[in-house]
Structure formats: structure tokens, C-alpha cells
Amino acid sequence: MKQRDENYMLVRHCVEASNVDEHSFVVDPLKIRHVTVKAGKIEDMSSFIDPATHLNLDFEIHKADRCIISEKLEKGAKVRFSDQGFAFAAVPKASFQHHGYVDYTQRLLDMRESIKKIRESRKQEGNMD
């Protein structure tokens, strides 16, 4: 099995259960966040998604078309599971619009660097007595 480095993170789109309708559709897609999950709970999260990248018909490679569901959108909140893994909610097709070109590579690099800095500062804070 390949060993992952300590900075590896699997980032997922996440929505709070109160923002999911009875047919498992996201009600307000502007209230989706990126999260990391550890031991069935939200370990860390970003601010709300940017519609220019996540709800953009002109930018197909990173659409927020489905999200894992959490009890709350806060650190430590439990995520929901189905028989096959995470429970998901779909984002309705009507939520997507044309927003034009986005330099997603630069945005992704900036986001990953920001998360890395936050984690490093938390490690330093934890080492202070």
C-alpha cells in the first residue's frame, strides 16, 4: 500500500443536513463548503464555495454536483453514511450558470497553500507550553 505524506488531504464538498430536501437535493448551493473528514467527523473546513468555480457551466472540471451530508457545518460535526459509504446530496442542474473562464489551477494552489499554513500554525501552537 502506498504511504501518503503528512500533508495529503482528501477534500470533499459538504452540505448541512438542514440544507437538503426530502429528495436528497441541496436547497441552497451557496451554502456548500470544502471539508476534510476524519473518523466520521468534519476535521477541517473552508469558507463557502465560490459559484464562479463550483456552479459554473463554463468550468466543468470542478463542479459541486454532489456533496456529502453533515449534521452541522462545523468542525467535529458527524457526517452521514449510507450502506455504501458517505450519504450524498445532489445539486440541482438549475443551480449552474455560465460564469466564464476561471484560473482554477492558481486558485487550487492558493487554497492548498493556505490550508498548509493553517495546519503548520496549529502544530506550532500545540507545541507551545
Please state, in angstroms and rounded to a whole number, the distance separating the CA atoms of residues 60 and 56: 7
CA 49 from centroid of its chain's CA atoms? 8
The domain tally of the chain equals: 1
In a domain, 111, yes or no: no
In a domain, 81, yes or no: yes
Q: What is the pLDDT along the chain (129 residues), one digit of tens a residue?
A: 555 556 566 889 999 999 999 999 999 999 999 999 999 999 999 889 989 889 999 887 778 999 999 999 999 999 999 999 999 999 999 999 998 988 878 878 988 898 888 889 888 887 655
- Antiparallel, parallel or unpaired: β 88-90 and 66-70: antiparallel
In a domain, 38, yes or no: yes
Please tell me the predicted confidence (pLDDT) of residue 9: 66
Helices (H) and strands (E) in the chain, counts: 2, 7
In a domain, 128, yes or no: no
In a domain, 55, yes or no: yes
pTM: 0.75
Nearest residue to 96 via CA among 11, 36, 4, 30: 30
In a domain, 125, yes or no: no
In a domain, 109, yes or no: no
Please tell me the predicted confidence (pLDDT) of residue 123: 84
In a domain, 46, yes or no: yes
Domain with 85 in it: 12-100
Give φ, ψ of 120 to 5 degrees: -65, -40
Please state, in angstroms and rounded to a whole number, the distance separating the CA atoms of residues 29 and 49: 8
Residue 82 vs residues 68, 88, 119: alpha-carbon distances, Å: 11, 8, 30
DSSP 3-state of 113: helix
